[in-house]
Amino acid sequence: MAYWTPEQDARLEEFMREGMSASQIGALFGVSRNAVIGRVHRNKKLKEIGLSHPPGNPGKRVEALKKRKSRAKPAGELLRTPRPQPQPKRRVKVVSPSILFEPVPPKPLPEPVFIAGERLTVGRPIHLLGAHECRWAVNDADKGELHLFCGAPAEGPWCECHRRKSIGIGTRSEQIASRVLLAA
């Protein structure tokens, strides 16, 4: 319900005078009890009437709660209780992985491959590359196999040879485009 109309306010007032709770009124209007409580709170006339409370006298319940003894211990008793002694820490024995597993001999690096127009590359795994070494993949490894990279000195991610290779030569139409423009 977006807005409360004067007719709805009149019905709300009637229900409140009959002693209905906010939940019961909300069910009749098809809104939540909080919507009804909010409307009563914002309307001075309805606020004066007030909503009825559920059966039973809540005032007696509040008084009973006030009279009930506190379960908290007095401050003097708290000081007299002994503190629990800390438990000794358990020590965990650290075992070297070399004791648990047999060492696996490293796989030999492949023989150098020579491709026409390229420099001779052996290839190194990526974890052995330094900050200024070429990261151009030189083998066609499958998933789970050892991937090898160029490793030649480089200014950026690739050495000069692989940087030129990354640019490519273009399609046939791109290659002849400058000649076509000159001829026109």
pLDDT tens-place string over residues 46-74: 888 877 665 555 555 556 666 666 666 66
Residue 148: inside a domain: yes
Q: Record the pTM.
A: 0.31
State the pLDDT confidence band at 158, using cuts at 50, 70 and 90. Answer: confident
Comparing 116 with 160, which gets the higher pLDDT?
160
**Which residue, among 63, 161, 167, has the nearest Cα to 118 in the 3D structure?**
161
**Cα(63)–Cα(131) distance, integer angstroms:** 76
What is residue 58's predicted lDDT score, i.e. its pLDDT? 56
Residue 121: inside a domain: no
Tell me what the mean pLDDT of segment 110-136 comes to: 71
Residue 120: inside a domain: no
Q: How many domains does the chain have?
A: 2
Residue 28: inside a domain: yes
C-alpha dist (Å) from residue 28 to 32, 42, 46, 52, 156: 10, 20, 17, 16, 74
Residue 72: inside a domain: no
Residue 23: inside a domain: yes
Judge whether 126 and 149 are in contact, CB under 8 Å: yes
| The pLDDT of residue 11 is above 80 | yes
Region of poorest pLDDT, from 7-16, 56-65, 82-91 = 56-65
Residue 76: inside a domain: no
The residue from 55, 78, 96 where one domain ends is 55
The residue from 14, 35, 55 where one domain ends is 55
| Per-residue model confidence as pLDDT tens digits over 129-142 | 888 888 888 888 88
Residue 104: inside a domain: no
Residue that is written with structure tokens 């009973």 in the block: 64
- Report phi then psi at 57, rounded to 5: -100, 105
The residue from 34, 55, 76 where one domain ends is 55
139 lies in which domain range?
Answer: 128-184
